[in-house]
């Protein structure tokens, strides 16, 4: 299983903590961005979060679901 590069590890921990922090937590990419980013993020900061989320999905640590016309992310269920 692929690990996040060292520069992305802190961001990955923060996203996992955010999504794990409450029962049935799930959010869209925009919601994760609002939680993780300053008010006016740079394009590099936005790209970093997108890359980390993609890596976490690839690793099986979070999963995607379709809700209406949106993709939401949540911590992968252990069941």
Ramachandran quadrant class, 13 (left: phi over 0; alpha: psi -120 to 50; beta: rest): alpha
Give the model's confidence band at 1: pLDDT under 50 very low, under 70 low, under 90 confident, else very high.
very low
For 33-53, write each residue's pLDDT tens digit. Answer: 888 776 777 888 889 999 999
Domains of the chain: 6-75 (1.10.10.10)
pTM summary value: 0.82
Q: What token pair was written down for 32? A: 């994760």
- Label each residue of the chain as H, E or C: CCCCCHHHHHHHHHHHHHHHCCCCCCECHHHHHHHHCCCCCCHHHHHHHHHHHHHHHHHCCEEEEEECCEEEEEECCCC
């Amino acid at each position: 299983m692929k690990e996040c590069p060292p520069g992305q590890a802190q961001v990955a921990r923060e996203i996992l903590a955010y999504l794990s922090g409450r029962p049935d937590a799930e959010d869209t990419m925009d919601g994760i961005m609002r939680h993780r980013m300053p008010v006016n993020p740079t394009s590099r900061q936005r790209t970093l979060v997108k890359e980390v989320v993609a890596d976490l999905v690839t690793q099986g640590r979070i999963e995607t679901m379709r809700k209406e016309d949106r993709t939401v992310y949540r911590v992968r269920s252990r069941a």
